[in-house]
Amino acid sequence: MDGDLHRKMEITNVTEYQAIAKQKLPKMIYDYYASGAEDEWTLQENREAFARILFRPRILIDVSKIDMTTTILGFKLSMPIMISPTAMQKMAHPDGEYATARAASAAGTIMTLSSWATSSVEEVASTGPGIRFFQLYVYKDRKVVEQLVRRAEKAGFKAIALTVDTPRLGRREADIKNRFVLPPNLTLKNFEGLDLGKMDQANDSGLASYVAGQIDRTLSWKDVKWLQSITTMPILVKGVITAEDSRLAVENGAAGIIVSNHGARQLDYVPATISALEEVVKGAGGQIPVFLDGGVRRGTDVFKALALGAAGVFIGRPVVFSLAVAGEAGVSNVLKMLRDEFELTMALSGCNSLADITRNHVVTEADKFGVMPSRL
């Protein structure tokens, strides 16, 4: 879809892209991006939990100048809103990961490239300068992993986001019904030369079969140590939702934590990431930054995450849906809308900079139960 048509559609918020993407994409592809695991309880909860957090705005504060800049792992960003790894973006739009990389770079923020991208680390690097992280799945063949990590480092990627919640693929029933498989014109580009770039048609989900065959179920904390021994890139552990694992991440040398339930696509009935965030932040004890991934659709969501201790947030589905609708312009627009909404939320809450956002600016369900006097 070209820019003119994109403008005529008068998209006023991030969520509106999803319905348009649904009309535009083949069912198998839309369902792959949109669905969650099993009953999709956590998928719904990732959004609904944000709606139960309310604001305590402060008034009569000079908010004529708002500064949203932040530093993540030493990199200066225009805002604390970054792009999560999402797989196979060329299914959404022919430009795929190229478009996402350009939009992120233009917005002054970080893109995380999926291991299962339909563009390689080298191709994404060729789009020009930008701060990029690489999401890693650990394959059974460690030589494959080592080679991939070295390629990402050589291509200028700045950190590894190690996904730790996927020893097996979650049960995504839409993919089973649709017999999901990567369309024949596309490959998992990072694995193309290793004969691991194609996904076979299966009698359930082709991706689930691929994961069962290739991804290492023995992955443990010792492998986090091993990764540190083969790369100088900092390692972010993606998929932590408890304080216990947060402490272990710190002990095992992680440079940061991404609180994530994999977009509610792995274990159903885990809490929303925004509900797990404070626990994980407490577990990390201020030693390493904690980021939130999952359910962010509004600038108000970004503010709530920062108030509860996140150093920044990552967005996933809004990127693929806007990419499907309008390519690079769509992704740029999503980043702009979230940025503008977040800036407005800061102003209306009485915050000039990220450092001004405190726990006192929000009230959660837990606060209501703990703080309100008993009515009994």
Q: Which residues contact 189 (CB under 8 A, 6 or more apart)?
A: 117, 118, 119, 120, 123, 197
Annotated binding site: 32, 85-87, 114, 135, 137, 163, 172, 238, 260, 262, 265, 293-297, 316-317
Q: What's the pLDDT score for residue 376?
A: 38
3-class secondary-structure state, position 149: helix
Q: For residue 132, which amino acid is it?
A: R
pTM equals 0.94
User: How confident is the model over 321-333, as a mean pLDDT?
Assistant: 98
- Residue 228's pLDDT band, with cuts at 50, 70 and 90, is very high
Q: Which residues carry out catalysis?
A: 262
Burial class of residue 373 (count of CB atoms within 10 Å of its CB; 0-12, 13-18, 19+): exposed
- 23-36 pLDDT, tens digit per residue, is 999 999 999 999 99
pLDDT at 285 over 70: yes
Q: Is the confidence at residue 307, as pLDDT, over 50?
A: yes
* pLDDT the model gives residue 203: 65
Kind plus residue range of the DSSP H or E element containing 273: helix 273-284
Concatenate the DSSP letters of all residues of 216-259 into one string.
-TT--HHHHHHHHHH--S-EEEE---SHHHHHHHHHTT-SEEEE
Burial 85-112 (b: 16+ CB within 10 A, else e): bbbbbbbbbebbbbbbbbbbbbbebbbb
In this prediction, residue 192 carries a pLDDT of 85
Question: How does 311-327 read in b/e, with b if 16+ C-beta sit within 10 Å?
Answer: bbbbbbbbbbbbbbbbb
pLDDT for residue 254:
98
Query: What is the per-residue pLDDT for 374?
Result: 39
Q: Which residues pair with 235 in a beta bridge?
A: 160
201 pLDDT higher than 80: no
**Mean pLDDT of the region 147-157:** 97
Beta-carbon count within 10 A of 366 CB = 12
* Cα–Cα distance, 279 to 291 (Å, whole number): 13
Average pLDDT over all residues of the chain:
93
pLDDT bracket for residue 205 (50, 70, 90): confident
Work out the pLDDT band at 295, boundaries 50, 70, 90.
very high
Contacts of 183 (CB under 8 A, 6+ apart): 29, 91
Annotation: binding site for FMN:
85-87, 114, 135, 163, 238, 293-297, 316-317
Distance in Å from the first CA to the final CA of the chain: 58
Residue-wise pLDDT for 248-263, tens only, equals 999 999 999 999 999 9
Please give the pLDDT value at position 375. 36
Q: What's residue 102's pLDDT?
A: 98
Reported as a pLDDT band with limits 50, 70 and 90, residue 136 is: very high
pLDDT computed for residue 131 by the predictor: 98
Type of residue numbered 85: P
On the question of pLDDT at 332 being above 70, the answer is: yes
Q: What is the DSSP letter of 185?
A: T
Domains and CATH numbers, the chain: 14-363 (3.20.20.70)
Report angle CA 153, 155, 161 to the nearest 5 degrees. Answer: 50
CA angle 104, 107, 108 (to 5 degrees): 90
**CB-CB contact of 39 with 268 (8 Å):** yes
Rg (CA), the chain: 20
Q: Quick: pLDDT tens for 67-86.
A: 999 999 999 999 999 999 99
Tens-place pLDDT, residues 13-70: 999 999 999 999 999 999 999 999 999 999 999 999 999 999 999 999 999 999 999 9
Binding-site sequence positions for glyoxylate? 32, 137, 172, 260, 262, 265
